[in-house]
Amino acid sequence: MTMTKKIVTLAGDGIGPEIMAAGLEVLEAVADKIGFDYDIDAKPFGGAGIDACGHPLPKDTLDAAKAADAILLAAIGGPKYDNATVRPEQGLLAIRKELNLFANIRPVRIFDALKHLSPLKPERIEGVDFVVVRELTGGIYFGEHKLEDEAARDINDYSAQEIRRIIRKAFELAQVRGKKVTSIDKQNVLATSKLWRKVAEEVALEFPDVTLEHQLVDSAAMIMITNPSRFDVVVTENLFGDILSDESSVLPGTLGVMPSASHSENGPSLYEPIHGSAPDIAGKGIANPVSMILSVAMMLRESFGELAGAEMIEEAVDKTFNQGILTRDLGGQASTAEMTAAIIANL
């Protein structure tokens, strides 16, 4: 007898509720086919949390997230909250810290039917299929910040333990992919990067079947545009990862097809699209739900080991694109509901 899995959903703001509904429709359809038993617990978060409870991460939402088997997050934020005392984005930083979501995973894949959307020449993106592994709870974003009228300081702190666990996550991922890790740092200048490279070399000894290479962050940024197919698993610290993962998101030509996952060491993982809440198109029924749907696929694979269900979703998305069914951001005319229905039909 399979245990019922508890999934907390954080629909958030803007197009969040629309794409969350689409993702859950696909999850329901797949669950029926693979015998996956789950319960959904919907909670307010982000701007919706501010509206409901005066804070982007209400205590009830955090308690539910901590007790969940996995968390699905759609999107947060919007102009309405620009002057809020506590902004929706602060709820996102808080939940990452509270759940110790130290490893952010962003797969970068080019869909054949969408190659024409990439700003790069077709030959540059041929065979591109890599993953960016970003350390998410340490580094300069969580260090000491000091701002004065004529000076400012931001402290970048990393311990060997923080570095070791994210590097190890990258190697574990590489073992089931192309068996290559590219560790990105700035060791010719930064002390934290010198420690980063030292620890990466130590962890590499635990994985003799995986090749480790080092790249300085500036040259890595160049290679990501000039020769992105050389990467398999890219791992780096918080600030560099923020920048490089956003750079990599340009390769497919749209944010609307890119999912992500954030993992802790032993608690629930959080899955979300990488795009924002797009308040300008909220409520119009035209949002692209694919990144949310692919986040559901990541959840099935990485939190529940439901490989068949994950592959069914990914293949259905690919087939839908190949049929020419595209939302407006992809150059088509399909509505959110039509795209979702087409993907379900192709499962």
Active site residues: 141, 186, 218, 242, 246
Q: Which two tokens stand for residue 312?
A: 């069914």
Q: Shortest CA distance to 340 belongs to which of 9, 30, 39, 5? A: 30
Query: CB of 165 within 8 A of CB of 172?
Result: no
Three-state SS string over the chain comes to CCCCEEEEEEEECCCHHHHHHHHHHHHHHHHHHHCCCEEEEECCCCHHHHHHHCCCCCHHHHHHHHHCCEEEEEECCCHHHCCCCCCHHHHHHHHHHHCCCCEEEEEEECCHHHHHHCCCCHHHHCCCEEEEEEECCCHHHHCCEEECCCCEEECCCCCHHHHHHHHHHHHHHHHCCCCEEEEEECCCCCHHHHHHHHHHHHHHCCCCCCEEEEEEHHHHHHHHHHCHHHCCEEEECHHHHHHHHHHHCCCCCCHHHCEEEEECCCCCEEEEECCCCCHHHCCCCCCCCHHHHHHHHHHHHHCCCCHHHHHHHHHHHHHHHHCCCCEHHHCCCECHHHHHHHHHHCC
Residue 287: alpha-carbon gap to chain centroid: 18
Greatest C-alpha distance within the chain = 65
- Give the chain's length: 347
